[in-house]
Amino acid sequence: MSHTFYIAMSYAVSAIVILCLVAWTWLDGRARRQELAELEASGIRRRSAQPKGDAA
Burial call 17-39: b when 16+ CB within 10 Å, e when fewer: eeeeeeeeeeeeeeeeeeeeeee
From CA 40, how far away is CA 37, in angstroms rounded?
5
Residues 1-56 that bind other proteins (CB under 8 A): 1, 3-4, 6-7, 9-11, 13-14, 17-18, 20-22, 24-26, 28-29, 32-33, 35-36, 39, 42, 44-46, 48
Residues near other proteins (CB under 8 A) are 1, 3-4, 6-7, 9-11, 13-14, 17-18, 20-22, 24-26, 28-29, 32-33, 35-36, 39, 42, 44-46, 48
